[in-house]
Structure 1
Amino acid sequence: MNTPDNTVQVTSLPDLAQILPYLLGHYPDDSIALHAPGPNFHDGPTMTCPLPEDTAEWQATAENAARQFVAYAHNQGHDPTLGVIIYLSREPRPGQSPEDTAALLAPIGTWLTDEFKHRATVLRTISLVANRWWAYECTIDGCCEGEPLPSPDDSTSIVAQMTRLGRTPGPRTRDIIKEFQATADPDFLNDLHTAADHFNSQCATNAGRDATLMTTLNQIDTAMSQFRNGAHALSRALTTQLIVGLQDDDAVEAGMAHTQDDDLPHARRLWAYLARHCAEPFTHEAAPILTLFAFAAWRQGDLIAVRLALRDAITNDPDYELATGIHLGTIDGEDPREWLASAREGHARCMAHLQHAVEVTSEYRPTTDTTAVRYREALDTAATHYYDQAQTEEGRLLARHGTIDIANGALADFRNGRPQLKDDTAARIILGLQDLHARDAALSTGEESDLPYERQLWGYLARRCVPPHTAKAPPLLTLLGWVAWRQGDTHTASHAFVEALDSYPGYTMAKLLLDGIRNEIDPARFLAECRDAVAEFAANRPYLDTI
Structure 2
Amino acid sequence: MSTPNNTVQITSLPDLAQILPYLLGHYPDDSIALHAPGPNFLDGPTMTCPLPEDTAEWRATAENAARQFVGYAHDRGHDPAQGVIIYLCREPRPGQSPEETAALLAPIGTWLTNEFTWHRATVLRTIGLVANRWWDYECDIDGCCEGEPLPSPDDPTSVAAQMARLGRTPGPRTRDIVKEFRATADPDFLKDLHAAADHVNTRCATNAGRDAMLALTLDQIDAAMSQFHDGATVLSRALTTLLIVGLQDDAAVEAGMAHADDDDLPHARRLWAYLARHCAAPFAREAVPILTLFSFVAWRQGDLIAARLALRDAITTDPDYELATAIHLGTIDGEDPREWLASVREGHAHRAALLQHAAEVASEYRPTTDTTAVRYREALDTATSHPYGHVPTAEERLLARHGTIDIIDGALTDFRNGRPQLMDEIAARIILGLQDRETRDAALSTGEENDLLYERQLWGYLARRCVPPHTDKAPPLLTLLGWVAWRQDDTITATHAFTDALDINPGYELAKILLHGIRTECDPAALLAAFRDTAARFAASRADLDTL
1:440 counterpart residue number: 441
Amino acid of the structure 2 residue aligned with 1:187: D
- The 1-side partners of 2:108 and 2:385 are apart by 74
SS at match of 1:150: coil
1:316 counterpart residue number: 317
1:264 counterpart residue number: 265
SS at match of 2:264: helix
1:506 counterpart residue number: 507
More divergent stretch after superposition (85-94 vs 364-373): 364-373
- The 1-side partners of 2:377 and 2:22 are apart by 68
1:202 counterpart residue number: 203
- The 2-side partners of 1:157 and 1:6 are apart by 14
Amino acid of the structure 1 residue aligned with 2:409: N
| Cα distance, 1:313–1:471 mapped onto 2, change above 3 Å | same
2:399 counterpart residue number: 398
1:284 counterpart residue number: 285
Q: Once the two structures are superposed, what CA deviation does each residue of 1:54-76 show, in whole Å capped at 9, x if it has no partner?
A: 11111111111111111111111
- The 1-side partners of 2:412 and 2:93 are apart by 77
2:381 counterpart residue number: 380
More divergent stretch after superposition (180-189 vs 370-379): 370-379
Amino acid of the structure 2 residue aligned with 1:235: S
- The 1-side partners of 2:335 and 2:390 are apart by 70
- The 2-side partners of 1:466 and 1:520 are apart by 33
| Cα distance, 1:226–1:5 mapped onto 2, change above 3 Å | farther
1:91 counterpart residue number: 91
Contact 1:87–1:127 (CA under 8 A) maintained in structure 2? yes
1:337 counterpart residue number: 338
Contact 1:386–1:431 (CA under 8 A) maintained in structure 2? no
Contact 1:386–1:428 (CA under 8 A) maintained in structure 2? no
SS at match of 1:540: helix
| Residue 82 (structure 1) shift | 0.9
- The 2-side partners of 1:433 and 1:44 are apart by 72
- The 2-side partners of 1:371 and 1:217 are apart by 26
Contact 2:383–2:389 (CA under 8 A) maintained in structure 1? no
| Cα distance, 1:385–1:88 mapped onto 2, change above 3 Å | closer
- The 2-side partners of 1:199 and 1:422 are apart by 31
1:18 counterpart residue number: 18
| Residue 465 (structure 1) shift | 1.7
| Residue 390 (structure 1) shift | 2.7
Q: Once the two structures are superposed, what CA deviation does each residue of 1:238-284 show, in whole Å capped at 9, x if it has no partner?
A: 11111111111111111111111111111111111111111111112
2:132 counterpart residue number: 131
1:454 counterpart residue number: 455
Gaps of 5+ in 1: none
More divergent stretch after superposition (170-179 vs 461-470): 461-470
2:77 counterpart residue number: 77
Contact 1:128–1:134 (CA under 8 A) maintained in structure 2? yes
- The 2-side partners of 1:308 and 1:421 are apart by 59
Amino acid of the structure 2 residue aligned with 1:309: A
- The 1-side partners of 2:338 and 2:489 are apart by 42
SS at match of 1:318: coil
Amino acid of the structure 1 residue aligned with 2:159: I
| Cα distance, 1:84–1:544 mapped onto 2, change above 3 Å | same
SS at match of 1:146: strand
- The 1-side partners of 2:342 and 2:532 are apart by 53
Contact 2:3–2:39 (CA under 8 A) maintained in structure 1? no
More divergent stretch after superposition (17-26 vs 420-429): 420-429
- Note the 1:183-332 alignment, pairs <5 A: 183-332=184-333
Amino acid of the structure 1 residue aligned with 2:491: T
- The 2-side partners of 1:138 and 1:230 are apart by 55
- The 1-side partners of 2:514 and 2:223 are apart by 41
Contact 1:389–1:395 (CA under 8 A) maintained in structure 2? no
| Residue 5 (structure 1) shift | 8.1
Contact 1:184–1:277 (CA under 8 A) maintained in structure 2? yes
| Residue 33 (structure 1) shift | 0.8
- The 1-side partners of 2:138 and 2:487 are apart by 82
1:147 counterpart residue number: 148
1:36 counterpart residue number: 36
| Residue 301 (structure 1) shift | 0.7
More divergent stretch after superposition (311-320 vs 385-394): 385-394
- Note the 1:482-501 alignment, pairs <5 A: 482-501=483-502
- What TM-score does the superposition give when structure 1 sets the normalisation length? 0.97
Amino acid of the structure 2 residue aligned with 1:470: T
More divergent stretch after superposition (380-389 vs 434-443): 380-389
SS at match of 1:261: coil
Q: Once the two structures are superposed, what CA deviation does each residue of 1:338-375 show, in whole Å capped at 9, x if it has no partner?
A: 21112112211221121111111111111111222222
| Residue 11 (structure 1) shift | 0.7
More divergent stretch after superposition (435-444 vs 91-100): 435-444
| Cα distance, 1:263–1:6 mapped onto 2, change above 3 Å | farther
Amino acid of the structure 2 residue aligned with 1:10: I
- The 2-side partners of 1:150 and 1:65 are apart by 29
| Cα distance, 1:6–1:370 mapped onto 2, change above 3 Å | same
- The 1-side partners of 2:386 and 2:176 are apart by 68
2:412 counterpart residue number: 411
- The 2-side partners of 1:384 and 1:78 are apart by 77
Q: Once the two structures are superposed, what CA deviation does each residue of 1:165-223 show, in whole Å capped at 9, x if it has no partner?
A: 11111111111111111111111111111112222222222222111111111111111
2:113 counterpart residue number: 113
Amino acid of the structure 1 residue aligned with 2:53: E
2:525 is the alignment partner of 1:524: yes
Contact 1:33–1:46 (CA under 8 A) maintained in structure 2? yes
SS at match of 1:339: helix
- What TM-score does the superposition give when structure 2 sets the normalisation length? 0.97
SS at match of 1:400: helix
SS at match of 1:141: coil
- The 2-side partners of 1:50 and 1:475 are apart by 55
Amino acid of the structure 1 residue aligned with 2:76: Q
CA RMSD for the aligned pairs? 1.6
- The 1-side partners of 2:317 and 2:265 are apart by 25
| Residue 425 (structure 1) shift | 2.2
Q: Once the two structures are superposed, what CA deviation does each residue of 1:448-507 show, in whole Å capped at 9, x if it has no partner?
A: 111111111111111122223222211111111110000111110111111112222222
| Cα distance, 1:238–1:388 mapped onto 2, change above 3 Å | closer
| Residue 420 (structure 1) shift | 2.0
SS at match of 1:124: strand
Amino acid of the structure 1 residue aligned with 2:545: L
Amino acid of the structure 1 residue aligned with 2:417: N
Amino acid of the structure 2 residue aligned with 1:377: E
| Residue 120 (structure 1) shift | 1.2
More divergent stretch after superposition (166-175 vs 431-440): 431-440
| Residue 320 (structure 1) shift | 1.2
2:178 counterpart residue number: 177
- The 2-side partners of 1:387 and 1:426 are apart by 13
- The 2-side partners of 1:192 and 1:374 are apart by 29
Q: Once the two structures are superposed, what CA deviation does each residue of 1:389-432 show, in whole Å capped at 9, x if it has no partner?
A: 83322222121111111211211221222222222222222222
- The 2-side partners of 1:9 and 1:476 are apart by 79
| Residue 386 (structure 1) shift | 4.9
2:350 counterpart residue number: 349
| Residue 138 (structure 1) shift | 1.0
State the percentage of identical aligned residues. 81
Amino acid of the structure 1 residue aligned with 2:374: V
- The 2-side partners of 1:498 and 1:388 are apart by 26
| Cα distance, 1:461–1:290 mapped onto 2, change above 3 Å | same
| Cα distance, 1:11–1:498 mapped onto 2, change above 3 Å | same
Contact 2:63–2:115 (CA under 8 A) maintained in structure 1? yes
More divergent stretch after superposition (406-415 vs 122-131): 406-415
Gaps of 5+ in 2: none
1:9 counterpart residue number: 9
